[in-house]
Amino acid sequence: MNRSLTLEEIAKLSGVSRSTVSRVVNGHPNVRAQVRERVWTVIHETGYQPHAAARSLVTHRTGILGVIIPEAVTTLFTDPFFPHLLCGITKTCNSHQYHLLLSLFNDPAGQEEMYRRVVHSGHLDGVLVASTRVDDPLIGRLLEDHVPFVMVGRHPDNRVCYVDVDNAAAARMAVEHLIRLGHRRLGIITGPRSMTHVQDRLQGYRQALEAHRLPVDEALIGEGDYSEMSGTVGARQLLSHSATAIFSTSAMVAVGVLKAVREAGLRVPQDVAVVGFDDVPITSAVEPALTTVRQPIEDMGSMAAELLLNLLKSPQDEQRPAHRIILPAQLVVRDSCGALHGK
């Protein structure tokens, strides 16, 4: 049909009352399954679109979830982690007929303005937060304002719901793999250490060394910013301290490590073994293909969105324990560690 239909016309075509159509559109549970199906069939066949503003007045919902990534805008487009995460979030939101609002900013002032105009003013039903620092004031404000939210990544506050992998165990698995291959001078390049997943991966690195009675040499611990360049710079430092293996806690950092090893006239894996993190497509496309820790990034995004939507179904004043979902990670062995060819 070319013109916009009214609720009364949808009711007439469905053979039900206007109030029944309203209950169906607004997800009210007290509607028989057969009636609900008949109404939605008419809605889909006619292309009827409920008026969003009117619907929100009835349901107190906007049908919009926010995704907040408190990182520089450039990070979103250079780190392949985020597109995969957003893909998982989007799939879940689409299946539940929710829209997404993505918020990016380069400084605290931008975050404050976004919070005031969008979050605090009630334009969002809930918020997903990814890649935030432990001391980011955003988390405290969301808790104080009782905004439903879920994080992708562990947070130490026991009131926060999140989805993550066991980053300490994942890092320990990667480092112990290198130790079993005979390496004793193992370096690591982390992301910003103010982030919990970075702290956890560094902890796993230390645990692996200590479990095998190897000294923790601070000169073999570098800090990057998840960029390829930081991997190259960090690897130069570690190679100057005779590292024979480097564990990079992100994919793009690992790509930078490969570049630094080549610049030094060394070979991977014959002279230096390299292990990365995330297992995004670039890890198998580079030469040599990277051994990496695989975390289910899309699943993390999808489950975080599902968890948030479930929170929205609970009464706002209901006291409920925070939900934490920990997904498994696995080591994907390729050429860069030397295990496949005995170095």
The verdict on residue 342 lying in a domain is: no
Q: Any alpha helices (H) in 81-227, and if so which ranges?
A: 81-95, 108-114, 137-144, 167-180, 196-211
Number of domains forming the structure of the chain: 3
User: Range with the lowest mean pLDDT among 34-48, 92-106, 112-126, 248-262?
Assistant: 112-126
Query: Both 172 and 279 in a single domain?
Result: yes
Between CA 175 and CA 187 the distance in angstroms is 9
Query: Both 256 and 142 in a single domain?
Result: no
The verdict on residue 79 lying in a domain is: yes
Do the strands 245-248 and 273-278 form a parallel or antiparallel pair, or are they unpaired? Answer: parallel
| Whether 92 contacts 309, CB under 8 Å | yes
Residue 58 pLDDT more than 70? no
- Tell me the percentage of the chain whose pLDDT exceeds 90: 60
Query: Both 254 and 210 in a single domain?
Result: yes
Q: What is the mean pLDDT of residues 122-139?
A: 88
Between CA 58 and CA 55 the distance in angstroms is 5
Length of the chain, in residues: 343
Query: Both 76 and 119 in a single domain?
Result: yes
CATH number (domain holding residue 117): 3.40.50.2300
The verdict on residue 104 lying in a domain is: yes
Burial class (CB in 10 A: 0-12, 13-18, 19+), 236: middle
Q: What digits encode the pLDDT tens for the residues 153-186?
A: 999 999 999 999 999 999 999 999 999 999 999 9
What's the mean pLDDT when you consider all of the chain?
88
Q: What digits encode the pLDDT tens for the residues 94-113?
A: 999 899 988 877 677 777 77
The verdict on residue 1 lying in a domain is: no
Element (H, E) at 252: helix 251-263
User: What pLDDT does 71 receive?
Assistant: 65
Question: 207 is written with which tokens?
Answer: 């645990």
Question: 273 is written with which tokens?
Answer: 């073994």
Residues 6+ apart with CB under 8 A from 75: 69, 82, 131, 226
Between CA 250 and CA 42 the distance in angstroms is 49
Structural domain boundaries, residue 122: 64-164+298-326
Residue keyed to tokens 């479930």: 310
The verdict on residue 46 lying in a domain is: yes
- Tell me the percentage of the chain whose pLDDT exceeds 70: 89
Query: Both 303 and 160 in a single domain?
Result: yes
User: What pLDDT does 73 receive?
Assistant: 61
Question: How would you label 310-338 residue by residue, b for 16+ Cβ within 10 Å and e otherwise?
Answer: ebeeeeeeeeeeeeebeeebebbebbbbb
